[in-house]
Amino acid sequence: MPWTVLAGAAAGGVAGGLLWRWLRTGDYRIEEDHPRLSLDRSWLVIPTAAAGGALAGVLTDPWLAAAAWIYLVGAVGVVWIDLDVHRVPDRVLRRWAPALLAAVLLAAAAGTTGWGVLVTALLAAAAMAALFLVLAVVGSMGLGDVKLAGVTGLMLGALGWSAVTTGVVAGFGAGAVAALWLLVRGASRDSHLAFGPAIIIGAALAIARAGFTG
């Protein structure tokens, strides 16, 4: 097992512990929210963050692995919050997105792939945000999903257009499965689906594919 996988998992576990200390307070909730998750189960973010950190470690470029670590570990908090209150808070994105951008900049400057990585990442971020903005206009997505798509495009674009394509297709596939599951459980067609987790699942699969296929 590559040392980057072990290091990513260990660091992810530590970060997950810090994330749990914040999430368990419910500080992200606002008066208009209708919480769906028990804060007593927020400890689940610890092993999940460790798994995300380990997944980042499968990338062969250590600089891109660091960027993926920031994306995946941060995404754990986004998934929890979106499942709980069906929102992606701006204050989370304001910290997460700049940290990821800095990591991608560092990967472009210090890695072996050159500045093309940054260009592709920015183009992919714009493309994914534009796609989800169109979906938001027609009413099937929220603006939080648009912003999350932009952050996700930044990460996947750093890995190449193949990763972007994989992430988008897998994300919509995961969303379709989740929607079908809700319908089977008796939800109506008008029931709201938190799509953020599906976007992140798609991204995680794309990162895994990039790592294992090289």
> Domain extents for the chain?
3-213
Lowest mean pLDDT among 49-63, 136-150, 180-194, 196-210: 180-194
Consecutive H or E run containing 135: helix 116-137
Look up residue 74 and give its amino acid: G
153 CB-side CA count, 13 A: 19
pLDDT score of 1: 61
User: 151, 132 in Cβ contact below 8 A?
Assistant: no
> What's the longest Cα–Cα distance across the chain?
52
The verdict on pTM exceeding 0.85 is yes
